Structure 1
Amino acid sequence: MCSRPTDPPEGGPAVSVSSLTKTYTGETGRVTAVDDVSFDIGAGHIVGLLGPNGAGKTTTVKTILGLVTPTSGTISIHGVPVHEARSRAYNYVSAVLEGARNVYWRLSVRENLAFFAGLHGIAPQTRVDRHEAIIDTLGLTRKADEPAKNLSRGMKQKVALGCTLARETPVLFLDEPMLGLDVETTRDLQTELRRLAREEDRTIVITSHDMDIIEAVCDRVIVLSDGDIVADDSVDSLLDVFRAQSYHVKLAGRPQAQLREQLETRFQLHDWETDTDSVAFEIALAGSEEFYECVEVLRTADATVRSFTEIEPDLEDIFVDLTTPASPSRGEGES
Structure 2
Amino acid sequence: MEYIIDIQGIKKSYKKRKSKEIIQAVKGVSFQVKRGEVVGLLGPNGAGKTTTIKMMCGLLLPNEGTIKINGIDIGKQRLKALRHISTVLEGNRNLYWRLTVRENLEYFSGNRGLSKKAVSAQIDELLERLNLTHKANEMVNSLSRGMQQKVSIAVALLSNTEIIFLDEPTLGLDIETSYEVRKLLKDIAKEYNKTILLSSHDMPVVQEICERVIIINEGRIVSDERVSDLLELFDTKAYSFTVNSVLSDKNLKEIQNHFMAELELNDGMQSVITVTITHSEDFYKVINLFEEMNIEIDKVDRSIIDFEQVFLKIVKGEMKREIAATV
Q: Tell whether the structures are fold-level matches, with TM greater than 0.5.
A: yes
Question: Tell me, which stretches of 5 or more residues in structure 2 are unaligned?
Answer: none
Residues 135-146 of structure 1: pairs in structure 2 closer than 5 A: 135-136=127-128, 138-146=130-138
* Contact kept in structure 1, 2:90 and 2:171, CA below 8 Å: no
Aligned equivalent of 2:232: 240
Aligned equivalent of 1:19: 9
AA aligned opposite 2:213: V
| Identity rate, percent | 34
Change in Cα spacing, 1:233 to 1:76, as seen in structure 2 (3 Å) is same
* Contact kept in structure 1, 2:263 and 2:272, CA below 8 Å: no
Question: Tell me, which stretches of 5 or more residues in structure 1 are unaligned?
Answer: 1-10
* Contact kept in structure 1, 2:92 and 2:148, CA below 8 Å: yes
Tell me, in whole angstroms, the C-alpha distance in 1 between the residues paired with 2:249 and 2:311: 34
Number of positions where the alignment pairs a residue of Structure 1 with one of Structure 2:
320
* Contact kept in structure 1, 2:163 and 2:194, CA below 8 Å: yes
Tell me, in whole angstroms, the C-alpha distance in 1 between the residues paired with 2:86 and 2:168: 15
Deviations 1:238-274 (A, max 9, x none): 1011123322112246789953442243332322424
When the two chains are superposed, the root-mean-square deviation of aligned CA atoms in Å is 2.6
Aligned equivalent of 1:197: 189
* Contact kept in structure 1, 2:246 and 2:266, CA below 8 Å: no
Tell me, in whole angstroms, the C-alpha distance in 2 between the residues paired with 1:146 and 1:294: 63
Q: Secondary structure at the match of 1:100?
A: coil
Residues 119-158 of structure 1: pairs in structure 2 closer than 5 A: 119-136=111-128, 138-151=130-143, 155-158=147-150
Aligned equivalent of 2:276: 284
Structure 1 residue aligned with 2:151, among 154, 159, 181?
Answer: 159
Aligned equivalent of 1:230: 222
Tell me, in whole angstroms, the C-alpha distance in 2 between the residues paired with 1:20 and 1:331: 27
Change in Cα spacing, 1:293 to 1:14, as seen in structure 2 (3 Å) is same
- 1:303: how far off? 3.2
Residues 55-94 of structure 1: pairs in structure 2 closer than 5 A: 55-94=47-86
- 1:314: how far off? 0.7
Deviations 1:64-88 (A, max 9, x none): 1111110100001111111211121
| More displaced 10-residue stretch of structure 1: 131-140 or 278-287 | 131-140
- 1:151: how far off? 4.1
Query: TM-score, normalised on structure 1?
Result: 0.85
Change in Cα spacing, 1:255 to 1:165, as seen in structure 2 (3 Å) is closer
* Contact kept in structure 2, 1:248 and 1:308, CA below 8 Å: yes
Change in Cα spacing, 1:236 to 1:151, as seen in structure 2 (3 Å) is same
Query: TM-score, normalised on structure 2?
Result: 0.87
* Contact kept in structure 2, 1:96 and 1:174, CA below 8 Å: yes
AA aligned opposite 1:94: S
Change in Cα spacing, 1:84 to 1:331, as seen in structure 2 (3 Å) is farther
